[in-house]
Amino acid sequence: MEGKKGAVFLDRDGTIIEEVNYLRDPADIRLLPGAAEGLTRLQEHYPLVIVTNQAGVARGYFDELHLSRLHRHLEHILAREGIHLAGIYYCPHHPEEGRFPYRRDCPCRKPKPGMLLTAARDLLLDLSQSYTIGDKLSDIGAGRNAGTKAILVRTGWGQEEERLIGGSQLIPDYVADNLLDAAAWILRQRPNTGK
């Protein structure tokens, strides 16, 4: 893994921004409390990569062009906070909804690791040195399946999902109150962080 570095993979809705059911309007994009500060701290040490299931495409609620406009708007909001993303990866598929080519059981829909594996290949990342943060156990599964450490945040669906951990094989390495708390935990794992 010489020359490769770890990254932080982040779910979008309920982790970085407020959960909005099938987000369509850029005006509804709002950063969660602690998100900007957490991302700012993390980007000093890790590339930041969003990995997000977007089955609204398969369901016909919006198309991929509209989704890319939403993501550009999110990038502008983050840029105003001094935050730069290394990439945004999304899965537009659903195994039971929609029409071809979107209705399919694909390798990129979390908890499968396809988006993380593609990002690692594209960006030359070391998954064993990486972290995945999300508000659902499917995020934890994607991180685990890709070989990263995984953190569940209690924002978004996180508090409900936390109650399911006991009956699940998907055990996070840490449960954080929000993205800022998750960032602090990640940075405590780094060697020589006392600078």
Q: Which two tokens stand for residue 56?
A: 């609204």
CATH number for the domain spanning 135: value is 3.40.50.1000
Q: Does 2 reside within a domain?
A: no
CB 134 within 8 A of CB 10: yes
Distance in angstroms (rounded) separating the CA atoms of residues 99 and 142: 25
CB 16 within 8 A of CB 179: yes
Active-site positions? Answer: 11, 13
Q: Does 3 reside within a domain?
A: no
Number of alpha carbons in the 13 Å side-chain half-sphere of residue 108 = 18
Number of domains, the chain: 1
- pTM above the 0.85 mark? yes
Give the pLDDT confidence of 34-76 residue by residue, as tens digits.
Answer: 999 999 999 999 999 999 999 999 999 999 999 999 999 999 9
Residue found under tokens 């969003």: 50
* Structural domain that includes position 46: 8-189
Question: How much helix, strand and coil, in percent to the nearest 5, is found in the chain?
Answer: 35, 15, 45
Q: Does 33 reside within a domain?
A: yes
Q: Does 167 reside within a domain?
A: yes
Distance in angstroms (rounded) separating the CA atoms of residues 4 and 78: 25
- List CB contacts of 23: < 8 A, sequence separation 6 or more: 13, 17, 29, 56, 70
Residue 186 clears pLDDT 90, i.e. is over it? yes
**Percent of all residues in the chain with a pLDDT value above 70, rounded to a whole number:** 97
In the predicted model, what is the mean pLDDT of the chain? 95
Q: Does 194 reside within a domain?
A: no
Q: Does 181 reside within a domain?
A: yes
CB 38 within 8 A of CB 180: yes
pLDDT band at 167 (very low <50, low <70, confident <90, very high): confident
Residue 195 clears pLDDT 70, i.e. is over it? no
180 phi and psi angles, rounded to 5 deg? -65, -45
Q: Does 16 reside within a domain?
A: yes
Distance in angstroms (rounded) separating the CA atoms of residues 127 and 183: 17
Q: Within the chain, what is the greatest distance between any pair of CA atoms?
A: 53
Q: Which two tokens stand for residue 59?
A: 């369901």
Residue 96 clears pLDDT 80, i.e. is over it? yes
Q: Which helix (H) or strand (E) holds 53?
A: strand 48-53
Residue 167's identity, in one-letter code, is G
